[in-house]
Amino acid sequence: MIDTEKITINMSVVDLGQIDLLASEGFYSSRTDFIRTAIRNQLSTHSQEVHQVVTRKAMAIGAFSYNRRELESLRERNEHLDVKAIGLFYIADDVTPELAQAVFNSIEIRGVFRASNAVRAALKDRMRD
């Protein structure tokens, strides 16, 4: 895995007990293994729907990153980006807020957006839900 994010969920004590029972009987190595497997199974079940939305919204899936050199090259060519992504979107620490504002028109991320606090603040008005 490229990266993982921690999530918190609330569940009934009965459901949790059943998960613990399955883990103790060797069906899963841990609670986390059970939950990851369940999530993957649900994502697999709904893969067609995800694909349709991604296609309709012209979104990309994966991990994407931009550094200062790449963004400066885009700025020199007077190119601008409208980002629509599912996964990880990373703007390197060497990117200034001014450079990010000059290149990014809009950003829509379903997943994780990582950038310095200054760059995030500079792009706040360009973030879409």
Same structural domain for residues 59 and 83? yes
Same structural domain for residues 75 and 122? yes
Same structural domain for residues 61 and 123? yes
Same structural domain for residues 29 and 89? no
Same structural domain for residues 30 and 80? no
What does the pLDDT read at residue 2?
A: 58
Residue 88 lies in a domain: yes
Same structural domain for residues 62 and 122? yes
Residue 109 lies in a domain: yes
Same structural domain for residues 27 and 67? no
> How many angstroms separate the CA atoms of 86 and 26, rounded?
34
Domain of residue 95, residue span = 50-128
Residue 5 lies in a domain: no
> How many angstroms separate the CA atoms of 38 and 32, rounded?
10
For residue 81, what are the CA distances in angstroms to 23, 37, 85? 46, 35, 12
Tokens matching residue 14 = 């009965």
**Counted domains in the chain:** 2
Same structural domain for residues 33 and 57? no
Same structural domain for residues 39 and 82? no
The DSSP code sequence of 11-80 is: --HHHHHHHHHHHHTTSSSSHHHHHHHHHHHHHHHTHHHHHHHHHHTT-EEEEEEE-HHHHHHHHHTT--
Same structural domain for residues 59 and 107? yes
Residue 103 lies in a domain: yes
What does the pLDDT read at residue 1?
A: 45
Q: What is the mean pLDDT of each run of 10 residues along the chain (129 residues)?
A: 81 96 97 96 94 78 95 93 94 98 95 96 94
